[in-house]
Amino acid sequence: MKTSNENSNIRRIVTEPPERQKIRRKNRKAMMALFVALIVAATIFAVMLNRDNPTFRAFFSGVDFEVETTENGMLELNSTDRYFFGSNKDGVIVAQSNQVTALSPKLEPLWQVDVAGVGPVVKTRGAYTLVYYTESAEAAVIHKKKSMPVAADGVVLLGEINQDGYFLLVTREKGFKAQITVYSPEAEVLYRWHSADTYVVDADISFDNRSIAVATTDFSKGTVSGGLMLFNFTQEKPYAGLVLEGNMVLDVCFTGRDELLLVGDTACAEFNLQGEKKWEYSYEGKGLTTFDVEQDNIVLALHEGDAARADHVIQIVTNGKRKGEYTCSGNVKVTDAVNGDILLVQDRKLILISERGNEIHSVNLNRDIKNAVLFADRKHAFVVSGTAAEVVELK
């Protein structure tokens, strides 16, 4: 037999006013929406944090490759090693677990250095190349065809190098979200900072080699907050910082002595070294598929609806204004900007456009394109397919 208290409790539940039931249902829906939003934001963050990880790239591309031999103008590729493709002023950079090679448009080796590590990533700036390994604490700086090994304090998450050879490594650190270490061109430690509260998404070193800009993301308050912090090497704490509500920071890049470009998922902007905003450019609700930053140009591949199926609009932004625009039928997988020209990579098509949005050349291929890199001459592209790599003429 139930007690009177139990009966009264049942009676209250059954006879609860419809208005209160509606409010409770709305609250449950709101909590569920917040939960889903946090899951989506966490997924986006994981993608951006691991965007250079060859394991992550291989998962989506379907296969890893190893450069073996040159035959009939093509590089044969085997699925026996991981790789990373990039470019610098010399040519296309092909990084593997034991070697980094610069190739000419004729696929001839310009230089080759031995390295050691798992999961290589390459960053280039001027005459300097930084190679780091996303599953180890190993890194190397390549300059004038010579390699200098660097042992980081922990597993490397990401890295960056500037035009003078100063570089930084973001590593895992027990008890912290991450650790940032800044090195001189001789690999001497200049600065360290431990991130206790926020995740580091990207970082860059200023032109005067005295400060760094750090892009962060924070989930602690139930919402996603993008952040920007500026550090001077003589101070332990940031001398400037700001929160970008509703804009997850994806990339920061110094383009001048007092110019810092920031790319977010809803807008891009420029700041000075004091953290003051010079301008902001909104995507006006369009989704960002991919982007590239080259000198003062920000190249945005934007879409509406399903990114895999929707047509894309390429917008080239300089000083907060749209310099050029190009409408692309179908999706765009990669954008690669070099000296004012921009390579657009689709599933089976390459398109070269100017910074004004004018089409220069296009090439249809009869095979799926996994990746493509524009050479410095802007006349050739290094194209990776499922079984081989080749050079495609664009001009």
Q: What is the pLDDT of residue 218?
A: 73
Instruction: Give the bridge partners for 294, in sequence order.
Output: 297
Per-residue model confidence as pLDDT tens digits over 181-190: 999 999 999 9
Q: What is the pLDDT of residue 253?
A: 96
Does 15 have pLDDT greater than 60? no
Rounded mean pLDDT of 346-373? 96
d(CA 87, CA 109) in angstroms, rounded, equals 13
Quick one: what percent of the chain has pLDDT higher than 90?
Answer: 65
Tokens, residue 66: 């190893």
Q: How many CB atoms lie within 10 A of CB 293?
A: 19
Does 21 have pLDDT greater than 50? no
Kind and range of the H or E element at 22? helix 18-49
Does 64 have pLDDT greater than 60? no
Does 328 have pLDDT greater than 90? yes
Q: What is the pLDDT of residue 4?
A: 37
Rounded mean pLDDT of 251-268? 95
Better-predicted residue by pLDDT, 265 or 73 = 265
Per-residue model confidence as pLDDT tens digits over 37-47: 555 555 555 54
Rounded mean pLDDT of 249-268? 95
Q: What is the mean pLDDT of the chain?
A: 84
Does 264 have pLDDT greater than 80? yes
Q: What is the pLDDT of residue 349?
A: 97
Does 370 have pLDDT greater than 90? yes
